[in-house]
Structure 1
């Protein structure tokens, strides 16, 4: 079956074409040219492998993003199952509170982490007052992990809850009538049915953690992740070629993760935007 591409369809496609050219193809093309314009030429794209510091930062960023993704999936799936299965007074308020971080930029999330675990933070103040010594973690990978976890949970939670709403209740009831325990139902029925939603939302969490800058910038004392490295190369060292090359590498890694997730989970990964 063939479809005719008429004037109306062209009009519908025009905004997408303009957006793709103005905000993706042209900027990425210029960025790619700048990345190869330095002393190392196209070798700048290999600095992630050949430069020990760049390699270390890339591995740290990948590890942090993977840990954030796993923790986010675990927390969001548990909370999502509870909220979807139970109706109680204040449920709507609780959902609103859990999704509130969607309204916060990364800088605000960084400040919240500092309030919690900074030098004058709540936990450090309480720890010192109890005689347990200083407990400061906001300016480390631990603080960044908590910040990324904070703004990743709402995105995954909403996707998981939407997936749970689409579950076939008859299948769950059939498993229960056959004597399956709640744990068996979760393992053999619920989680397999939620697999597309979990893959899609996990890819979003990973991609967000890979490229997030605001929180890292706010907490950047002892933090070395790829977005901060790009910022340092660009602003402090005026090394535009390296910054551009690292940006392209970061974009390719994130795109690859989203592409793999899309092939495994279907079009639900489009929610990554």
Structure 2
């Protein structure tokens, strides 16, 4: 009886720090958001979010941008990750380090890099002006934001793909090859099904990151019509706390729904990837 009581106290003691962090950084802020969105009543702010064309357009644009970033990231990272995992290159460690280097950059730095590349005085504009006589500037649009999100999303997925690729059973590919399967069929029928749980998990985390990313969008322009910027505008410029809180809850629900679906498809892989 005493051993059981001691064991229970030990588990409670070990869980106490995690529970304190959970309450301080997730539960209490969520309760505060719910309370703020319920002013003056529990439905006014959410009704406005779902009926106001500006808010709906912002939500749909954010979802579309996040889906585009996720799709492009998965394609590029799968190709690069498989290549790096299956090839021994002289400078492989250096190449992997360079590809994963953006993980060290905050969103604000990524935004400035996009401006230096595709801004009014950026490299793309200078080259296009010399070649076509017209300066191409897209850093301050959704295209620039797409580029910035892609830049910091690819490293996360490359690392996941490389880790999953090293665990693939080479004998299955050899068996398919001996049966006359082409490299494309081997990739579709053998490699992709084995990588799919990792890709689903990485894609869900990539989508969630793009949905809530703020620093890059804030650096590029304050009038970008994506949900984090809309929330910022409502809270700081319009002093509309209820609507900002409701928009935050909606953003969270969309993100949580995607993560929940991915978790149901892949088990605990999403949590491990996140």
Compute the TM-score of the two structures, normalised by the length of structure 2. 0.95
Match of 1:181 in 2: 182
Q: Does residue 232 of the first structure (1) align with residue 230 of the second (2)?
A: no
From 21, 24, 44, give the equivalent of 1:22: 24
* CA contact 1:80–1:161 (8 Å) conserved in 2: yes
Alignment partners' CA distance in 1, 2:229 and 2:273: 22
Match of 1:115 in 2: 116
> How far does residue 272 in structure 1 lie from its aligned partner after superposition?
5.2
Alignment partners' CA distance in 2, 1:265 and 1:43: 37
Q: Tell me the alpha carbon deviations over residues 105-135 of structure 1, each in whole angstroms, 9 at most, x when there is no partner.
A: 0000000100110000001011112233110
Gaps of 5+ in 1: none
Q: Tell me the alpha carbon deviations over residues 222-259 of structure 1, each in whole angstroms, 9 at most, x when there is no partner.
A: 52100000000000011111111111111111111111
Match of 1:171 in 2: 172
> How far does residue 6 in structure 1 lie from its aligned partner after superposition?
1.9
Which moves more between the two structures, 167-176 or 255-264? 167-176
Q: Does residue 37 of the first structure (1) align with residue 18 of the second (2)?
A: no
Gaps of 5+ in 2: none
> How far does residue 42 in structure 1 lie from its aligned partner after superposition?
2.2
Alignment partners' CA distance in 2, 1:47 and 1:170: 57
Aligned length: 269
Name the SS for the 1:148 alignment partner. helix
Match of 2:142 in 1: 141
> How far does residue 268 in structure 1 lie from its aligned partner after superposition?
1.1
Match of 1:50 in 2: 51
Q: Does residue 157 of the first structure (1) align with residue 158 of the second (2)?
A: yes
Alignment partners' CA distance in 2, 1:192 and 1:132: 48
* CA contact 1:213–1:228 (8 Å) conserved in 2: yes
Alignment partners' CA distance in 2, 1:121 and 1:113: 8
CA-atom RMSD in angstroms: 1.3
* CA contact 1:139–1:221 (8 Å) conserved in 2: no
Q: Does residue 264 of the first structure (1) align with residue 265 of the second (2)?
A: yes
* CA contact 2:111–2:217 (8 Å) conserved in 1: yes
Q: Tell me the alpha carbon deviations over residues 34-88 of structure 1, each in whole angstroms, 9 at most, x when there is no partner.
A: 11114x6422123332111000110000000000000000000010111111001
Runs ≥4 residues deviating over 4 A? none
* CA contact 1:140–1:222 (8 Å) conserved in 2: no
Match of 1:103 in 2: 104
Q: Tell me the alpha carbon deviations over residues 83-102 of structure 1, each in whole angstroms, 9 at most, x when there is no partner.
A: 11100111111111110110
Q: Does residue 204 of the first structure (1) align with residue 179 of the second (2)?
A: no
Compute the TM-score of the two structures, normalised by the length of structure 1. 0.95
> How far does residue 31 in structure 1 lie from its aligned partner after superposition?
1.1
> How far does residue 188 in structure 1 lie from its aligned partner after superposition?
0.2
Match of 1:65 in 2: 66
Match of 1:129 in 2: 130
> How far does residue 137 in structure 1 lie from its aligned partner after superposition?
0.5
> How far does residue 172 in structure 1 lie from its aligned partner after superposition?
1.4
